[in-house]
Chains A and B, each alone.
Chain A
Amino acid sequence: MRVVNWTASVDKEKCKASCQKTCPAGVKVPVYIDLIKSNRFQEAYEVIQADNPFPSVCGRVCHSPCENECRRGKQDAALAIRALKRFAGDQLINGGLPVPRVKENKGIRVAIIGAGPAGLSAAYFLTLKGYQITIFEALEVAGGMMVAGIPEYRLPKDVLNKEIDVIKNMGVEIKTGVKIGKDITLEQILRNGYKAIFLAVGARKDQPLNIPGEELEGVLTGVRFLHDVNLGNPPDFSGKDAAVIGGGNVAADAARSALRLGANSVTVYYRRTKKEMPAIEGEIAEMQHEGVKIHVLTAPVEILGNNGKVNGLKLTKMMLGKPDKTGRPLPVPIDGSEFTVKADVVISAIGYNPDAADIDPALKTNGWGGIVVDADTMVTSIPSVFSGGDCVTGAATLIEAVSAGKKGASSIDKYLGGDGIVVKDLNPPRNFGKIIDGDTKRVRVPTLGKVEGFKETELGYTLEQAINEAARCLQCDVECRTCEKVCPVLAIKGKTSGQRNVAEVDVNYCVGCNACEQRCPEYAILLNKLDKPVIIKTDVNKVDYEQIASLCRKAKFHPEQIVCYCTATRAEEIAAAVILGAKTPEDVSRATGVRTGCKVECIQPVLRILEAAGIQPEPRKDGWQWYGRTPTVWEIREGIKAKFNHKGFYFTEDIQLLDRLIENKKDN
């Protein structure tokens, strides 16, 4: 007997593949992987583009948080999602990228400040909805950190420009060389008929090292240095020893760029260990492969110089202390461990902050220069002015900037009377091809293998490699069905909805046992308290008790013996359920409530009673429930008994004990 107090329900937003949920932009990863596997590359690109206007760019430089959550990663290695995204873009980039159809022009103008990933993304999504967009960009080129911060060897300019061209071809106007607060003000923009503004000015202000010697010639800051390198004004490092301070992506890009500018040696100094370096793992490996040295647990204390020029660096050794607010161990200097190294150039890349102070006196900023916004609407302290991206959050990643642009577009759309839905739902038919299930190594992305100036180092997959890699995808969005497979009463099923399966609960059968909630890989099951408890029970009085007793004894149970400890269900109730027509363990569970507590320990009694009634349950079609014949102690062979009895296995004695129970011999 089982008292049911709870039933399960499904959170449909959570009932998605981990990769898609982890992507800040919500890109439908399993769908485009499936399309790549089916040689449908343009459709694959369009599926990515629906959520992210930079498939080819992200295919090269995204930090790919999706891969960290890929379920395949628990088995052999995460799917190479980023590389597959790049592959989809590479198939189209030279023949022309698809330009999405935009809605009819609403005649409403929106200004965007900053042509970085957040600003361009906001422009893209607003244009799709029919808004007329003008972007004001301080630099002479569009792209923000994508163009000024990421070196050519990781992200070729022509690839970036082709995806920016798509946005331009949708009708977005980009005015470069216009600095907000200096060349034009927010007030002027609003006065000129723009109904809303999205501020996406990024974060480019380098944090100082705050150590002696920072003023010396030869001391550079990471963002500024990369800006000069990427926009055509690279310094000459020939024969110089370069020291880079920091462990993030800017430090890695600066170090690898320094190497390409002819540096004699490049060494990265980082105050924690390699494990804590925030740079993308692959970038760290590439950096080392190219010859950059990494010196961990080291921090600078002074930049040394002669005649106003850098000639060395004084450093101290560090050790890791207790975790700081971010959870990373706090680096602590080791007293007396200072040492000096030779350096002609020092590049400081320890972080960068927004610099929004000069935009408008009415614009509220926080202590580190970030723009203060309402977390839900992204509106700033100035009405009609919204903001998102690095200038709000501090330096973040490319895909987070895309997400911020999308969210900003949605908020502005709502503000201007729209529904806030900015993503076009594409529904290409799925093929669901074969999955390579066994252990299969991730297909390695080919690289140049050596430094050839600023030539792109990663080469991208060949067709064959991409198809093979795509076939490793487990298609979690359609193939998961874990909830269905573990449910003891068949109350939950995956149902195809659009392109994916979403679980649905049949509340008439759900007993709130929480098996689905406990195993759902996406934590998508909720349990809801019932207003009134429901009792599941088979009345033993409905069956001739002799029949029950006979069946129980045949199964080697005393009828009153408890066989389900969670519900205190006795063998007689299961026997009654079987006599009344239960044919499978699921039928028995539905009739008596057994297997809905721990879900584990009472399956054998159920099977034994079914077998005693002449029913051998078939394995369930979902393949997870194996109902083989049940071995019992009565069947242990004499040879085994003889071999193991002296090792503490009391087979014979236990058989005697259980037989006495079945016969209910209390008085022996």
Chain B
Amino acid sequence: MGKTIRPMLPRKSQYGVDPKYIEKRISEYPEMTSIMLNDIFQDMPSIIYPSNKGLDAVREATEKALEKVDMSMIKPDHSVNILASHHGFTLLGGEPYAEVLKTIRDVIEKRTGTDSIRLRAGVGLRFRETEEYIRSFALDKHFKGKAQGVAPIDEGIPIETEIGTLYGLKAVYDADWIVHAHNSDVREVHFHRQVDRAVKPFGMSYARIDTRSTYHQNMGPRAANFVARSIFGSDFVQSKFAFTTFIEMTPTGIKDVIADNNLLALNDKITVSGCKYYGKIMTLLGEIDECIVGLDFPAPVPYVFAAGVIFANFAGSNVDIFDLDNPLPPYTWYTEAFYGKDSLPLVENVPKLNPAIKAVIHNYAWGGYPSTFFAEHLPTIVVGTEQAEAIKRDPQNIDYIRNSVIAESLDSAMEFAYKVSGTRKVIIFDGAIGGLNVSQELADLLVKKVPEIDKKVENELLPKWLKQRGIDPKEVELF
């Protein structure tokens, strides 16, 4: 068996069990091995991080990307809000994103002369999460105290848009200029369907509850991201928007840092790279016939990573969720909403969660996000009574443990999962960088499937996906 890639270390957070209780990681078992993505997909791009240059490479790339950005609109007496989201801090340990934010601040100060530069870091449903990251990465010091975590229940500000009044967060827009600092990791394809991915935070991290709820409840599974597009396109936001900076992510690491005064131009670029690189991995994972899933990463259940893919997407990888002709992925909140009292779907075409998943071992994953749906639909084994207690305490997951079984240790959880599932194929969502940790049996299957998937995505799926999003596949090379 091969040596496994080191999983992402547990992080001390109020949303997860204390790391001291995570005694063992799933990748430590002798039957586990790793698949390096560069070995199986020859066209994965070269990356700048992780690399021998460490964070210096990220800083240099950010500085270089910002060279071509026009900042002349920012005057020395102006204020600037650099807008960040919690998601960036979950990528590769969070340091690269923190470094990008620090660099943007330093470059703005140097180029424009203003020192009124604030960090406003938005969150999803864990309202203190970015406050934890701000402290952890010393962003408060770097921003001279002007760093603030903002949450969707904070004070709002109405924004007139072409679909009516929507609401942003006051603290996000309380500066003369805003800078949108994000990343191209596809993450929630089940929600945004890789449509206007770059714009999404305007309807999420930077928005109030009223507007987030409009996105998730009022707009339909494929039209939802128009909420973000409407806010971004509003006169109010356009009057403040200065430029954007994105970490260009791939499943193997950071390809580059890109920046532009035109967010929509950058949006097309990341639509292409997201479909191409992540599309291949997701399609490959969709080929798994049976498996045990290991959750082992410092994030809520749906957001634990393997090869750049989150568990929520693997739970739906039995359906091509990049294909917009498929109305519903097996998991989105629309799908979740569509199960009636008899536990059957209320409408046709609601696909079941990935039937390949025979058992889920919850070795380490946070609360702070409604995840009961997964435990209701997939046999789930939670490791450790302390972790179970932490989840029980979470108001967003009151019924998660009621739908799970609790194992005293990871050893007993693994043993149980092997017995009840009858499979030895294991995929571990542990944030392993550059590849994924799996059991040897699963590795053999995946490696065998690669050539076929590579060809299928390149020749058949990718052109279709791009066409659906208004991008001529012939122009892909231009991006």
Contacts and interface: CB of A to CB of B under 8 A. Distances in A.
B162 A74 contact: no
Contacts of A607: 210
Contacts of B345: 666
B153 A626 contact: no
Interface stretch (B28-36, B219-227, B419-427, B445-453): B219-227
Given A636-B226, A646-B470, A666-B347, A604 B145 contact: no
Interface residues of A, number: 76
Contacts of B347: 657, 660-661, 664-666
A650 B324 contact: yes
A74 B346 contact: no
A600 B209 contact: yes
Contact of B222 (A630, A632, A648): A648
Interface stretch (B3-11, B103-111, B283-291, B334-342): B334-342
Interface string B192-218: 011110000000000011101110111
Contacts of A511: 395
A519 B151 contact: yes
Given A74-B148, A439-B174, A631-B166, A648 B195 contact: yes
Contact of A648 (B167, B219, B324): B324
A43 B361 CA distance: 64
A658 interface: yes
Interface stretch (A169-177, A287-295, A461-469, A563-571): A563-571
Interface string A625-668: 01111111101110010001011111101110110110011111
B79 interface: yes
Interface string B132-157: 00000000000001111001111110
Interface residues of B, number: 76
A201 B340 CA distance: 76
B182 interface: no
Contacts of A74: 118, 145-148
B116 A626 contact: no
Interface in B345-368: 345-349
A290 to B, nearest CB: 22
A608 B153 contact: no
A648 B337 CA distance: 23
Interface in A13-41: none
B469 A648 contact: yes
B370 A598 contact: yes
Contacts of A486: 153-154
Contacts of B48: none
A621 to B, nearest CB: 14
Query: Looking at A5, A514, A653, A657, which has the most chain B CB atoms within 10 Å of its CB?
Result: A657
Interface in A123-137: none
Contacts of A527: 393
Main secondary structure of the interface of B (DSSP, over half): loop
B163 A635 contact: yes
Nearest to A564: B370
A75 interface: yes
A596 B213 contact: no
A570 B340 CA distance: 9
A50 to B, nearest CB: 28
B151 A626 contact: no
B112 interface: no
A6 B393 contact: yes
Contacts of A632: 214, 218-219
A13 to B, nearest CB: 20
B127 interface: yes
Contacts of B333: 565, 601
A601 B217 contact: yes
Nearest to A598: B125
Nearest to B402: A3
Nearest to A668: B348
B398 interface: yes
Contacts of B146: 73-76
A299 B299 CA distance: 44
B147 to A, nearest CB: 7
A628 B370 contact: no
B223 A600 contact: no
A513 B396 CA distance: 8
B255 interface: no
A405 interface: no
A600 B338 contact: no
A640 B163 contact: yes
A650 B217 contact: no
Interface string A605-622: 101100000000000000
Given A3-B398, A486-B153, A601-B216, A558 B346 contact: yes
Contact of A631 (B145, B164, B225): B164
A96 interface: no
Interface string A572-614: 0000000000000000000000001111111111011000000
Query: Looking at B162, B344, B345, which has the most chain A CB atoms within 10 Å of its CB?
Result: B162
Contacts of A6: 393, 395
A561 B337 contact: yes
Contacts of B196: 647-648
A476 interface: no
B370 A565 contact: yes
A632 B222 CA distance: 13
A68 interface: yes
B34 to A, nearest CB: 29
Contacts of A562: 336-337, 339
Interface string B66-82: 00000000000001000
Contact of A629 (B151, B152, B165, B393): B165
Contacts of B218: 604, 608, 630-633
Nearest to A597: B396
B226 A644 contact: yes
Contact of A649 (B145, B225, B337, B344): B225
A217 to B, nearest CB: 42
Contact of B226 (A630, A649, A664): A649
A562 B395 CA distance: 17
B321 to A, nearest CB: 13
A439 B165 CA distance: 25
A259 interface: no
A628 B223 contact: no
Contacts of A602: 213, 217
A223 interface: no
B397 interface: yes
A653 B323 CA distance: 14
Contacts of B127: 515, 518-519
Contacts of B167: 626, 628
A660 B42 CA distance: 44
Nearest to B142: A275
Given A515-B153, A604-B217, A640-B162, A661 B338 contact: yes
B155 A624 contact: yes
Nearest to B214: A604
Interface of A: 2-3, 5-6, 68, 73-76, 78, 439, 485-486, 511-515, 518-519, 527, 558, 560-563, 565-568, 570, 596-605, 607-608, 623-624, 626-633, 635-637, 640, 644, 646-651, 653-655, 657-658, 660-661, 664-668
24 contacts: A74-B118, A78-B145, A439-B175, A519-B154, A527-B393, A562-B337, A563-B337, A566-B370, A566-B372, A568-B399, A605-B217, A623-B155, A624-B153, A628-B158, A631-B165, A644-B226, A646-B470, A647-B470, A648-B469, A648-B470, A654-B221, A655-B220, A664-B347, A666-B348
Given A68-B145, A629-B165, A637-B162, 9 more contacts: A73-B145, A74-B145, A563-B337, A565-B373, A601-B209, A624-B153, A626-B208, A628-B165, A660-B348
Interface of B: 79, 116, 118, 125, 127-128, 145-148, 151-156, 158, 162-167, 174-175, 193-196, 208-210, 212-214, 216-223, 225-226, 229, 324, 327-328, 333, 336-341, 344-349, 369-370, 372-373, 392-393, 395-399, 468-470
Closest 4 CB pairs of A and B: A654-B220, A648-B195, A604-B213, A650-B222
